[in-house]
A and B are shown apart, each in its own frame.
Chain A
Amino acid sequence: MDSKKVDLSLLDGVLNEYAQVKGSLITILQHTQDIYGYLPKEAIELISEKTGIATSEIMGVGTFYTQFRFEPVGKYLIMLCQGTACHVNSSELILQTIKDELGIDDGQTTEDGLFSLKCVACLGCCSLSPVMMINEDTYGSLTPDKTKKILKELREAAQ
């Protein structure tokens, strides 16, 4: 995404509501990410200006929590669960399958901007392990073949 296209006016509502409420930095960052899909540099600078919190501190908080991203993500964000039950039920095989199929590593996005891969802590659907979430949908009891099929279907749907 071209950084020039970041429309900062989208943040007005959030900043009007929370900028002067103490302790709201994480809430503001969460709303910002909901709007842009990540935390753009320009938005961080504006948040700093409106809240009086130094950009260094905002970056400190932003980088501390795994939820926050500083780069745009693909159309499909794959969150692969790394919980204990998934580990015991061979989530490693699923990770390898996704890496092989998409040619990306944890934290990366495919060149066509379609898929991003993120390994996450337990999603809490342990009885369906191994599990992944793609955007809002959860996929359980994965096998390498099932995973490949899901990725193929999404790729076709996007075309």
Chain B
Amino acid sequence: MSQTNDTNAYWSANVRLILISLAIWALVSFGFGIILRPLLAGIAVGGTDLGFWFAQQGSILVFLALIFFYAWRMNKLDREHGVDEE
């Protein structure tokens, strides 16, 4: 029974991590890059504004950081919950 409880805890921790990551994923691309761009118009970046930078480069850099963070965090979580590949 404890096995199942631990698996459930592992899965909900994973789902929580996914939700947080996806919130950031959406914020930088759909948010800063598109919908919220007018709000960032005041912040100048190299001849244009921050929203343009997020749309063309910034979001890509955040995506990269997110994937590596998730992989690192999950591998740790696997070990903590004893579900890693031995």
Binding between chains A and B:
no
Listed in ascending order, the chain B residues whose CB lies under 8 Å from chain A are none
Listed in ascending order, the chain A residues whose CB lies under 8 Å from chain B are none
